[in-house]
Amino acid sequence: MKKCLLWYLLLFVLVPCIFGLAVALFNRSGENENKNENEVVLVNLDDEDKANLDDDDEDKDKKKAVIVKLNEANFDAETKTGVVLVDFYADWCGPCRQLAPILETLTDVKVGKVDVDVEQKLALEYNVSSIPLLVFLKDGEEQSRLVGVHSKEKIQKVIDDLKD
Q: Cβ contacts of residue 122 below 8 Å, gap of 6+?
A: 70, 71, 72, 75, 88, 114, 116
In degrees rounded to 5, what are phi and psi of residue 67? -105, 125
Distance of CA 32 to the CA centre of its chain: 19
Would you say 155 and 102 are in contact if contact means Cβ atoms under 8 Å apart? yes
Would you please indicate which residues are annotated as catalytic (active-site) residues? 93, 96
Give just the sign of the alpha carbon dihedral 138, 143, 149, 154. Answer: negative
* Rounded CA separation 13/137 (Å): 43
148: left (phi over 0), alpha (psi -120 to 50) or beta: left
The runs of H, that is alpha helices, within 10-151 are 15-34, 47-54, 57-60, 75-79, 94-104, 120-125
